[in-house]
Amino acid sequence: MKSAKDGYIKFKLKWIKAKPVPDAKIKALNRWRKKLFGLGLIGCYDNGIGYGNVSARLGKAGSFIITGSATGKLKKLTAKHYTRVVGWNIKLNSLICRGPVKASSESLSHAIIYRLDKSVNAVMHIHDLKLWKKLKDKAPTTSAKAAYGTPEMAREIERLFKQTDVKDKKIFIMAGHREGIVAFGSDAETAGKAILKNL
C-alpha cells in the first residue's frame, strides 16, 4: 500500500493556457513513460496523489516539455497531458509554463538539470522505495534537508553536478523526498536505461 503527502506545486507558477505540443515531440518520451508506469515507478498513491514525471528538452535554452501536474495516476498520456516550461527562476522560486495543463511539481528540478548539462535532453523522476533505499548515499544523493520542488533542491542538484560523478552515473537520489529518484540522459532511451540497470 503506497501513501505519501507530497505531490503539490511549491513554486510560484504562471500558467498560460495554450495548445498541446505536436505528438511527434512526445513520442519517445511517452513510450518510456508508459514503461515506467507499467513498472509502478510512475503512478498514484492510495491517497490520490500522483508521483513521477518525465521531460524532454525543446531545443531552446531553458525550454522543455514535461508531464502535467496530477497526471501520475493516468496509464496513458497524450500530448494534452504535457506542457512547455518556457521560463523559470530559482532565486524567485518561480516558473512559467505554456500548454493545456500546469507543469509538474518537480519542474524546477528538471530545469536545473537542463541548465547544468547541455548534453541532457531527457529527465525522468520516479518513485521506488526499495531502489531509493538501495542507492541512497551510494549513488549521488541530495541533502535530506532539501524538499522536492524547492530552490534548496535545485541548489542541491547543482552541488551534485559540481562535486560528484552524477554526470557519469546519470542518476541521483533525493534524500529529502522519500522514494524520489531522478535519472537523465542525452535522450529518453539513455535516461530510462539509467533507471532499469539499477532495478
Return the DSSP state at 59: S
Domain boundary assignment for the chain: 12-196
Dihedral angle of Cα 172, 177, 178, 179, to the nearest 10 degrees: -50
CA 53 to chain CA centroid, nearest Å: 5
Beta partners for residue 148, in sequence order:
none
- Alpha carbons 160 and 44: distance in angstroms, whole number: 28
Q: What is the pLDDT of residue 3?
A: 37
Q: Cβ distance 97 to 81 under 8 Å?
A: no
Q: What is the pLDDT of residue 100?
A: 97
pLDDT in tens, the chain (199 residues): 343 444 456 788 999 999 999 999 999 999 999 999 999 999 999 998 899 999 999 976 679 999 999 899 999 999 999 999 999 998 888 999 999 999 998 899 999 999 999 999 999 999 999 999 999 999 999 999 998 888 899 999 999 999 999 999 999 999 999 999 999 999 999 999 999 999 9
Q: What is the pLDDT of residue 150?
A: 85
Q: What is the pLDDT of residue 60?
A: 64
The SS3 of residue 16 is strand
Residue 82: enclosing H or E segment and its boundaries? strand 82-89
Q: What is the pLDDT of residue 112?
A: 95
Q: What is the pLDDT of residue 72?
A: 93
Class of domain 12-196 as given by CATH = alpha beta
Q: What is the pLDDT of residue 191?
A: 98
- Alpha carbons 137 and 141: distance in angstroms, whole number: 5
Q: What is the pLDDT of residue 43?
A: 97
Return the DSSP state at 39: T
Q: Grid cell 496523489 — which residue?
A: 49
Q: What is the pLDDT of residue 148?
A: 85
- Alpha carbons 6 and 189: distance in angstroms, whole number: 27
* Crossing angle (nearest 10°) for helices 151-163 and 107-116: 30
